[in-house]
Structure 1
């Protein structure tokens, strides 16, 4: 389902949209949809990058090697691990 949206533009912006539409061979409405999609993707990309940067700053302890981990689990929970 599509919704109708009224946007008021000055002549210069309307002309830019018309030129983009002519260059792509699509109506102005399609140009606007594509621009919205592109802007959305850029915002989401920036958010993902920021999340990765925050995760990279976390101080996470490296897990011990499997033998050490197994020994620690047996010392804590007895032979057989967590069962």
Structure 2
């Protein structure tokens, strides 16, 4: 029996086809944040938080938060600097 896995899929709604896929070794992926700056961010159940190029799916960086990430990332600007933040941990998500 194959191990469970997941993927982040970028979909072209006009062409009705997949543009790129980022595969990962866990089933649960958290929410996604796409920015106007050609970036896509996603956290995963295994604690990995990653940034991709929106047009190509190239992995730009990843960070291990040390605990599951199920909430979607949030972006905000303060004093002219843009930040990305997220909530990590299971809380009540798993009962």
Question: Is the TM-score greater than 0.5?
Answer: no
TM-score, normalised to structure 1, is: 0.18
The structure that is strand-richer by fraction is 2
The structure that is helix-richer by fraction is 1
